[in-house]
A and B are shown apart, each in its own frame.
Chain A
Amino acid sequence: MLSNVFLKTLRDNRRSWLIWSISLTLLIAFFMAFYPAVAGEESFNELTENLPESLNALFGAEDIASPEGYLDSQFFSYLGPLLLLIFAVGRGADAIAGEEQRHTFDLLMANPISRTQVVLQKFAAISVLTVGLGVVSFLVMWAFSGPVDMDIGAEPLAATVLGMSLLALLLAGLALALSCTISNKAVAAAVTAGVATISYLVSSLAPVVDELSPFEKATPFYLYDGHDPLANGFSPTHTAVFVALTALLVAVAASGLKRRDLVA
């Protein structure tokens, strides 16, 4: 596990990743267990119908008695992306700037390895860890769907989890690009959190706020759930745009780090 920066980064995260996996498993198991109580109960839908349209839009609670609506309201529209974002953005912001702040980067860079290699290998490791959390989420939901009698297809579920992971990685790429350019972990994470929050609000409220609708398609959240993956499955276009934008941000990160002085 110590052969290169990629494996070392995985190794550094092995404990925290395990804790995240267990927490996600417990969280998902918890809301899955309550599905039978909600399934088919029209009264729940009456409840949400009485709420203002904008609140429902924000929390994704439309038809919470259906499998898709339930998963959306409990996990995919808010909590799932939020958790994966926290995991990935924190690691993106920390990858380079964190080592600089802890003064370990000089010694790492005394080895014959280019700055670009370090950026690429660290981001590759963050990608594996983040998608790994997505895989755990998928497996737990899939495993519970039978016992709780939830009628949901594996393909749309996998597509949604993939989109959620890619969303987290896109913003991790942004945090990495910022931290490699300005070498300040806290600012990079804060700016990324701001971008994530604004784009979440824009994409959630666009259906009910006319002024926002022109911007809806420009947000990362639209790439994630604009095509309603839980109902419609995998979108090659959205996935390709995710990958391209993330690659662009990682390239910006590498070039930003290449240009500047390292902080001792």
Chain B
Amino acid sequence: MALNGGTQTETLRSPPAIQTHGLTKSYGKARGIVDLDLEIPHGEVFGYLGPNGAGKTTTIRLLLDFLRPTSGSAEVLGLEARKNSVEIRRQVGYLPGELDLYPTMTGRELLTYFGKLRGGVDAVHVEELARRLDLDLERHIKNLSKGNKQKVGIVQAFMHKPKVLILDEPTSGLDPLVQLEFQAFVHEATARGATVFLSSHVLSEVEEVAHRVGIVREGRLVVVEDVRSLKSKALRQLEIRFAEPVPPDSFTNIENVEARVEDNVVYITVQGSVDPVIKAAARHEVRDVISREADLEEIFLSYYREQTRAE
């Protein structure tokens, strides 16, 4: 990807958009984040993946100085998270994972308030963002659905054209069309040079927009990888129903495929491309195909499997 070549020289000129060194936050017994080293270059969309409770929100709240690290440090745009938090927040657009807005305000009032706290934002731009998300700004927030509240949250994160966007589970509660529009927001932000840090507990939410993905598990960053190579390692599970029973050995000789045949149904686990499986299946009459993407746990496992094989 051209991005990696570009970022090498970028790092020499200016500090990364987001950087952490040994960032650790422990809260008594509860899991926080342990010894996190991250480096996210300018212009990158970074997907921060992990199951709920893995430490994603903790990381984000450390970057914004809502939490104070137990040890280690974080920098955003070269500014120290503890010392220059106000300046960092001036340059950052943030969408919290658990979004709660002032219920008695209308969407427009809330955006006006936050816009004023930022020293004024372009009202035309705000209207445009709301229009694209099909968001009615006149309604009181207490009367908005979860999805519509999320839209207000998205508009306030993008409205001041921030240099860095930190978005915690941004598309939760959004219908697919709005998710597409959100992806367009992300592309437009990176097109003007912004960096996007996007957390999620599902790969599919970030794979369309992210360049790289980091996976955090039980407070530790286990892997940072290019989205495409991660997906190539990902396992996909297929269930194919045929019109009539297929020979038990129909899928056994394909590379990276494990198959179990039961009468006219085949259960398949495939790593990487599903193309050979589909071609093999096409030799018989197919009634139905159910495809399920590997969840994160399976991606970890395949990642570890890869590691062990390499050693």
7 cross-chain pairs, A with B, having the tightest CB-CB distances, nearest first: A103-B100, A112-B90, A110-B94, A111-B117, A2-B113, A262-B66, A261-B67
Are the C-beta atoms of B100 and A102 separated by less than 8 Å? Answer: yes
Say yes or no: is A208 at the interface (Cβ < 8 Å to chain B): no
- Specify which of B64, B87, B100, B118 is in contact with A104 (CB 8 Å cutoff): B100
Say yes or no: is A4 at the interface (Cβ < 8 Å to chain B): yes
Say yes or no: is B304 at the interface (Cβ < 8 Å to chain A): no
Are the C-beta atoms of A113 and B86 separated by less than 8 Å? Answer: yes
Tell which of B66, B92, B153, B156 has the most Cβ of chain A within 10 Å: B66
Are the C-beta atoms of A106 and B96 separated by less than 8 Å? Answer: yes
For chain B, residues 77 to 107, give those with C-beta under 8 angstroms from any C-beta of chain A: 85-87, 89-90, 92, 94, 96, 98-102, 104
Say yes or no: is B250 at the interface (Cβ < 8 Å to chain A): no
Residues of chain B within 8 A of A5, CB atoms compared: 117
Are the C-beta atoms of A110 and B92 separated by less than 8 Å? Answer: yes
Say yes or no: is A190 at the interface (Cβ < 8 Å to chain B): no
A-B contact pairs, 8 of them (CB 8 A): A12-B104, A106-B61, A106-B64, A110-B64, A110-B92, A112-B118, A260-B68, A264-B96
Residues of chain B within 8 A of A264, CB atoms compared: 57, 61, 66, 96, 98
**Chain B residues bordering chain A, tally (CB within 8 A):** 30
Say yes or no: is A107 at the interface (Cβ < 8 Å to chain B): yes
Tell which of B87, B92, B99, B102 has the most Cβ of chain A within 10 Å: B102
Chain A residue at minimum C-beta to C-beta distance from B156: A107
Say yes or no: is B114 at the interface (Cβ < 8 Å to chain A): yes
Query: For the complex, what is the distance from the CA of A114 to the CA of B89, rounded to whole Å?
Result: 10
Are the C-beta atoms of B113 and A8 separated by less than 8 Å? Answer: yes
A110 to chain B, nearest CB (A): 4
Say yes or no: is A3 at the interface (Cβ < 8 Å to chain B): yes
Chain A residue at minimum C-beta to C-beta distance from B111: A2
Residues of chain A within 8 A of B226, CB atoms compared: none
Say yes or no: is B112 at the interface (Cβ < 8 Å to chain A): yes
For chain A, residues 154 to 171, give those with C-beta under 8 angstroms from any C-beta of chain B: none
For chain A, residues 55 to 75, give those with C-beta under 8 angstroms from any C-beta of chain B: none
Total A-B residue contacts, Cβ distance less than 8 Å: 67
A50 to chain B, nearest CB (A): 52
A118 to chain B, nearest CB (A): 10
Query: For the complex, what is the distance from the CA of A2 to the CA of B98, rounded to whole Å?
Result: 24
Query: For the complex, what is the distance from the CA of A5 to the CA of B116, rounded to whole Å?
Result: 10
Are the C-beta atoms of B116 and A103 separated by less than 8 Å? Answer: no
Residues of chain B within 8 A of A102, CB atoms compared: 100
Given contacts A2-B109, A2-B112, A4-B116, contact A109 B100 (CB under 8 A): no
For chain A, residues 101 to 135, give those with C-beta under 8 angstroms from any C-beta of chain B: 102-104, 106-107, 109-114
Chain B residue at minimum C-beta to C-beta distance from A263: B66
Are the C-beta atoms of B66 and A111 separated by less than 8 Å? Answer: no
- Specify which of A3, A12, A104 is in contact with B101 (CB 8 Å cutoff): A104
Residues of chain A within 8 A of B117, CB atoms compared: 4-5, 111-113
Query: For the complex, what is the distance from the CA of A104 to the CA of B156, rounded to whole Å?
Result: 14
For chain B, residues 98 to 138, give those with C-beta under 8 angstroms from any C-beta of chain A: 98-102, 104, 109, 112-114, 116-119
Query: What 0/1 readout, one digit per residue, does chain A (194-224) give for beta carbons within 8 Å of chain B?
Result: 0000000000000000000000000000000
- Specify which of B89, B100, B104 is in contact with A111 (CB 8 Å cutoff): B89
A105 to chain B, nearest CB (A): 9
B88 to chain A, nearest CB (A): 8
Query: For the complex, what is the distance from the CA of A264 to the CA of B99, rounded to whole Å?
Result: 10
Residues of chain B within 8 A of A114, CB atoms compared: 85-86
A102 to chain B, nearest CB (A): 6
Residues of chain B within 8 A of A113, CB atoms compared: 86, 89, 117
Are the C-beta atoms of B89 and A112 separated by less than 8 Å? Answer: yes
Query: For the complex, what is the distance from the CA of A203 to the CA of B307, rounded to whole Å?
Result: 74
- Specify which of A3, A104, A106, A110 is in contact with B116 (CB 8 Å cutoff): A3
Residues of chain A within 8 A of B98, CB atoms compared: 103, 264
Are the C-beta atoms of A107 and B101 separated by less than 8 Å? Answer: yes
Residues of chain B within 8 A of A107, CB atoms compared: 94, 96, 99-101, 114, 153, 156
Residues of chain B within 8 A of A106, CB atoms compared: 61, 64, 66, 94, 96
Query: For the complex, what is the distance from the CA of A104 to the CA of B152, rounded to whole Å?
Result: 13
Query: For the complex, what is the distance from the CA of A3 to the CA of B100, rounded to whole Å?
Result: 21
Residues of chain B within 8 A of A8, CB atoms compared: 113
Are the C-beta atoms of A109 and B87 separated by less than 8 Å? Answer: no
Q: A110-B89, A112-B87, A112-B119 are in contact. List 8 more A-B contacts (CB 8 A).
A: A2-B116, A109-B64, A109-B66, A110-B64, A110-B96, A111-B114, A112-B118, A264-B96
Residues of chain B within 8 A of A260, CB atoms compared: 68
Residues of chain A within 8 A of B100, CB atoms compared: 102-104, 107
Residues of chain B within 8 A of A112, CB atoms compared: 86-87, 89-90, 117-119
Query: For the complex, what is the distance from the CA of A4 to the CA of B116, rounded to whole Å?
Result: 7
Query: For the complex, what is the distance from the CA of A12 to the CA of B102, rounded to whole Å?
Result: 10
Residues of chain B within 8 A of A2, CB atoms compared: 109, 112-113, 116
Are the C-beta atoms of B118 and A261 separated by less than 8 Å? Answer: no
A264 to chain B, nearest CB (A): 7
Query: For the complex, what is the distance from the CA of A8 to the CA of B90, rounded to whole Å?
Result: 20
Query: For the complex, what is the distance from the CA of A38 to the CA of B89, rounded to whole Å?
Result: 62
A259 to chain B, nearest CB (A): 8
Query: What 0/1 readout, one digit per residue, does chain B (42-86) give for beta carbons within 8 Å of chain A?
Result: 000000000000000100010010111000000000000000011
